[in-house]
Amino acid sequence: MIWKEDIETMPLEDLKNIQSERLVSLAKYVYKNCPVYKKKFDNAGISPADIKGIDDITKLPFTTKIDMRDNYPFGLFSRPRTDLVEIHVSSGTTGNPTLVGYTRDDIALWSDVMARTLCCAGAEPDDTIQIAYGYGLFTGGLGFHYGALEMGLTIIPTSSGQTKRQLKIMQDFSPRILACTPSYALYMAEEAKEIGLDPRTSTWEIGIFGAEPWSESIRAEIESEWNMLATDVYGLSEIIGPGVSQECQYKDGLHIYSDVFYPEIINPDTGRSVAEGEDGELVITTLTKQGIPLIRYRTRDIVSLTTEACRCGRTSPRTSKIKGRTDDMIVVRGINVFPSQIEHVLLGIDGTHPYYQIIIDRQSHKLDSVDIMVEVDERIFSDEIKKMRELEGRIREEIQAVLSVGVNVKLVEPKTIERSMGKSKRVVDKRSL
């Protein structure tokens, strides 16, 4: 079924009218309610009156992760704090995390786009869904929760982890739908075999996987291991959380809900739009959000976009799977990690700035491991084993606190980390995603 059939199958011209109306109101709304945006408009020499339709969107300034950081915590909001009913936090590049907040209407919007997402993946109202995304500050768990609630599914909010229990719950309550990260789906398959459970006999028929990049080969592996349909969901907390776009059963691109999240694909260097079908950075404008609406937010995700009609009947444009990033963000166990965060921690260790290298690996059907190699130079060296051990522990704890991901710290000898062009190669990603 299609959740919002009138909107989701609307001819593109009609959709454009809705987008135009919404952009005109949005420009006025943020200019009036958010001093940061007023200043951005003024600096760009743009007045809300210049925005007469969706095609005028290119006149508006971009919003970036730096804007989020610089205006932390509430500077980019267009509503007072008291209007917010929920806030979520994700990792920022350095220093401040990224804060987002929702008004009651924003939660309704999130519920709606997540209900669309679940339907798009193939959920039916009588279904039971096992939500194995983390619940908490991470938007994954609660986003799925709200959508499933909206749709009237039976929710099993297992959150992430406790794999044996996940499997037992699946066997006992027969959910047809599983939502988690793709790497966790593979990990669970391995655990299932270990306890003598054939993954192919599971009750899960549809998987909704996201929060980390994954390839067609991982999809093929999940589908054959679990005997299920594996679909890709996309989202980011700055825009709403999960529920920005989702694949239908044809798995031919992710339908983006462009009546509320208007997509543009730009050349990240020039900022200009690229031709349809070409790769570029995905830029999203939240047309109807109230709490923290964002104008032309640069996701740093590289995708292509097509407006060709899909066999499922939905008319909204489809993006490709994420093909890369414009920055050095890496996703580990569903959590965004920036090398700069690690650098920041190391810099805080006695003000030194040692060479380091991050090695990310995933043994087949295992969760990602993060090894941080830190060169012990004269400045952080101590001739007491106790102090070296303390240093190791301190680096590990501080990095874990910043990243919310468990890491191993390995102290290595000076000059053992490979230098390329004078700079150390900071991230070695050994995973086959």
Residue ranges binding another protein (CB under 8 A): 376-378, 381-385, 388-389, 410-416
C-alpha to C-alpha distances, 108 to 103, 111, 173, 290, nearest whole angstrom: 9, 5, 28, 11
Nearer to another protein, 126 or 413 (CB): 413
Question: What is the DSSP track for 48-114?
Answer: GGG--SGGGGGGSPPB-HHHHHHTTTTTT-SS-GGGEEEEEEE--SSSS-EEEEEEHHHHHHHHHHH
Sheet bearing 229-236, strands edge to edge: 154-156, 128-131, 177-180, 206-209, 229-236, 241-247, 254-256, 318-319, 305-306
According to DSSP, the residues that pair with 298 across neighbouring strands are: 283
Tokens of 254: 């992710």
Nearer to another protein, 379 or 430 (CB): 379
Nearer to another protein, 7 or 380 (CB): 380
What's the DSSP call for residue 258? T
Please check whether residue 97 is in contact with residue 67, taking contact to mean a CB–CB distance below 8 angstroms.
no
Please check whether residue 51 is in contact with residue 69, taking contact to mean a CB–CB distance below 8 angstroms.
no
Smallest gap from residue 419 Cβ to another protein (A): 12
Smallest gap from residue 388 Cβ to another protein (A): 7
The kind and range of the H/E element at 302 are: strand 297-303
Nearer to another protein, 88 or 396 (CB): 396
Smallest gap from residue 43 Cβ to another protein (A): 49
Smallest gap from residue 290 Cβ to another protein (A): 51
Nearer to another protein, 81 or 389 (CB): 389
Nearer to another protein, 218 or 376 (CB): 376
Measured CA to CA, the distance from residue 317 to residue 305 in angstroms comes to 7
Measured CA to CA, the distance from residue 202 to residue 198 in angstroms comes to 7
Smallest gap from residue 332 Cβ to another protein (A): 21
Smallest gap from residue 301 Cβ to another protein (A): 36
Nearer to another protein, 371 or 429 (CB): 371
